[in-house]
Amino acid sequence: MPILLGAVADDYTGASDLANTFSKNGLRTVQTIGAPPDTLPLPDVDAVVVALKIRSVAADEAVNAARKAREWLTARGAKHVMYKICSTFDSTDEGNIGPVTEAFRADAQAGTVIVTPAFPETGRSVYLAHLFVNGELLSESPLKDHPLNPMRDPSLVRVLARQSKAPVGLLDLATIARGADAVNAALADMSARNFGAAIADAVFETDLEILGRAALQSPVSTGASGLGLGLARALATAGATHEPKLDPVGGLSAIVAGSCSKATLEQLAIAEKSMPVLRLDTDALMRGDAEILRALEWAGERIAKGPVAIAASATPDAVARMQEKYGRESAGHAIEQATSRIAAELVARGVKRLVVAGGETSGAAVDRLQIPAFLVGPEIAPGVPVLRTVGGPHGAMQLALKSGNFGGPEFFARALGMMG
Ligand code: ADP
């Protein structure tokens, strides 16, 4: 069956978040890691989200990868492909939101493309093209100090125009309030004047529902999970229904954590009361394999009796000491390699249900496990679904990939409880 909707996501956890939004709003969804080979037997789904890692790479590299992913999706019947970006519009004057949107527009021969990072559920709203993050103007929010892409200009028309060749317009809230036909009339007018993209205002989910309906009249759109919600609801009301359930996989369970965020540290402290938790000696991890082998031996002695957790996670002070000693990138990368190796070794020893905490940590683990795709199941916490592998060398597994500050204090127990 052809897919109803496709998406190309600029990072892995953003892809999961969008896949979760599609699934929660009525679409049976698969998330793939890159465009998988044609030989991968994908289950019958309504939507496919192709996860890429192109948020902070050079624009031409991002455009090439995104183009290939869009082609893969359209070849499978997707009449609309959304480019999934961060809800804080993470980008620089070089890209990559503008260049990818323009490439999609050219390839699909689309008119003016709707672009909006609005996602009211997580406090992202757009009014007169100005992005507000939890009630603060983007340029006054913590994003102004983002290490890779400091966001110092709150006007997304200006931000997107600086990284685009064609002019960028505004689709204002007053137009959106008049409904999808009014939106499309405004877009047609902008298209006649050669506007490549239009930043769409949205404050409430109802605005995104209108934008979703309007966007489906075009082959492409660009947005965060809020626009995904609008697209999914527009398609779901057209007949798609879905109760996200995953077949159980059995086997052993484990948690591997590399996130040092406040939420993860709290979740680990709570997990410690109900299951064995090993705190890795991260300094020793930097010096060779002995610490990895110690962790695997420790796990081997306990895991048959129930889930275990292995964590590199540490307090901000300890992380700062590691970074001072080894450098920020080298420490992070080496620890990601170590945690992903531990995850892979645990899987080799019979773990079929795996929770990974940390965005980068999850990416490294999924890459090392060579998992080509996931079917999206029920939601554990906002933005974090249970995933079931599709294909891959380890047989059927269930995973939960938790980024940074996601999940409540009992997240780990809740995740394991929902994985069958
Ligand atoms: P989050 O989603 O919370 O940002 P990530 O996995 O994306 O988590 O990032 C955490 C980073 O911190 C990873 O690169 C990880 O390897 C690194 N890290 C984990 N433990 C430590 C530690 N004890 N000291 C320094 N860096 C660490």
Q: What is the pLDDT along the chain (420 residues), one digit of tens a residue?
A: 789 999 999 998 899 999 999 999 999 999 999 998 888 888 899 999 999 999 989 999 999 999 999 999 999 999 999 999 999 999 999 999 999 999 999 999 999 999 999 999 989 999 999 999 999 999 998 888 877 788 899 999 999 999 999 999 999 999 999 999 999 999 999 999 999 999 999 999 999 999 999 999 999 999 999 999 999 999 986 655 666 789 999 999 999 999 998 899 999 999 999 999 999 999 999 999 999 999 999 999 999 999 999 999 999 899 999 999 999 889 999 999 999 999 999 999 999 999 999 988 999 999 999 999 999 999 999 889 999 999 999 999 999 999 877 899 999 999 999 999
* Span from the CA of 244 to the centroid of ligand 1 (angstroms): 31
Q: Whose CA is nearest to atom 10 of ligand 1?
A: 259
Give the binding-site residues of ligand 1, using a 6 Å CB cut-off.
Answer: 258-261, 264, 282, 312-314, 318-319, 322, 331-332, 335-336, 358-361, 403-404
* Span from the CA of 36 to the centroid of ligand 1 (angstroms): 28
Q: Which of 8, 79, 23 lies closest to 375 in space, CA to CA?
A: 23
Ligand 1: which atom is nearest the Cα of residue 314?
23
Ligand 1: which atom is nearest the Cα of residue 362?
6
SS3 annotation, the chain: CCCCEEEEECCHHHHHHHHHHHHHCCCCEEEEECCCCCCCCCCCCCEEEEECCCCCCCHHHHHHHHHHHHHHHHHCCCCCEEEECCCCCCCECCECHHHHHHHHHHHHCCCCEEEECCEHHHCEEEECCEEEECCEEHHHCHHHHCCCCCCCCCEHHHHHHHCCCCCEEEECHHHHHCCHHHHHHHHHHHHHCCCCEEEECECCHHHHHHHHHHHCCCCEEEECHHHHHHHHHHHHCCCCCCCCCCCCCCCEEEEEECCCCHHHHHHHHHHCCCCCEEECCHHHHCCCCHHHHHHHHHHHHHHHHCCEEEECCCCHHHHHHHHHHHCHHHHHHHHHHHHHHHHHHHHHCCEEEEEEECHHHHHHHHHHCCCCEEEEEEEEECCEEEEEEECCCCCCCEEEEECCCCCCCCHHHHHHHHCC
What is the CATH number that goes with domain 5-235?
Answer: 3.40.50.10840
* Span from the CA of 258 to the centroid of ligand 1 (angstroms): 5
What is residue 278's predicted lDDT score, i.e. its pLDDT?
Answer: 98
- Phi, psi (rounded to 5 degrees) for 147: -65, -35
* Span from the CA of 248 to the centroid of ligand 1 (angstroms): 30
* Span from the CA of 336 to the centroid of ligand 1 (angstroms): 7
Q: Whose CA is nearest to atom 6 of ligand 1?
A: 358
> Which residue reads 């390839």 in tokens?
107
What is residue 398's predicted lDDT score, i.e. its pLDDT?
Answer: 98
Q: Which of 361, 319, 360 lies closest to 344 in space, CA to CA?
A: 361
What is residue 242's predicted lDDT score, i.e. its pLDDT?
Answer: 65
User: Which among 287, 360, 402, 406 is the best mutation to test ligand 1's pocket, defined by most ligand atoms within 8 Å of the CB?
Assistant: 360
* Span from the CA of 356 to the centroid of ligand 1 (angstroms): 12
- Phi, psi (rounded to 5 degrees) for 253: -125, 145
Distance from C-alpha of 223 to C-alpha of 225, rounded to nearest angstrom: 7
Structure tokens at 114: 């709707």
Give the residue range(s) of CATH 3.40.50.10840 domains in the chain: 5-235
Q: Which of 267, 259, 261, 239 lies closest to 409 in space, CA to CA?
A: 267
- Phi, psi (rounded to 5 degrees) for 333: -65, -45
CATH assignment of 252-418, given 3.40.980.20, 1.10.220.10, 3.30.1320.10, 3.30.70.1230?
3.40.980.20
Distance from C-alpha of 215 to C-alpha of 113, rounded to nearest angstrom: 8
> Which residue reads 């980008």 in tokens?
91
What is residue 38's predicted lDDT score, i.e. its pLDDT?
Answer: 84
What is residue 333's predicted lDDT score, i.e. its pLDDT?
Answer: 92
Structure tokens at 248: 């159980």
Distance from C-alpha of 113 to C-alpha of 191, rounded to nearest angstrom: 9
Tally the residues of the chain.
420
Distance from C-alpha of 201 to C-alpha of 114, rounded to nearest angstrom: 10
Give the residue range(s) of CATH 3.40.980.20 domains in the chain: 252-418
Q: Whose CA is nearest to atom 17 of ligand 1?
A: 332
Q: Whose CA is nearest to atom 27 of ligand 1?
A: 332
Q: Whose CA is nearest to atom 4 of ligand 1?
A: 404
Q: Which residues on neighbouring strands pair with residue 400, listed in sequence order?
A: 355
How far lies 180's CA from each of 138, 185, 308, 420, in Å?
Answer: 27, 9, 51, 42
> Which residue reads 């966001």 in tokens?
151
Beta strand pairing call for 136-137 and 130-133: antiparallel
Look up the pTM and report it. Answer: 0.90
User: Which among 260, 321, 323, 339 is the best mutation to test ligand 1's pocket, defined by most ligand atoms within 8 Å of the CB?
Assistant: 260
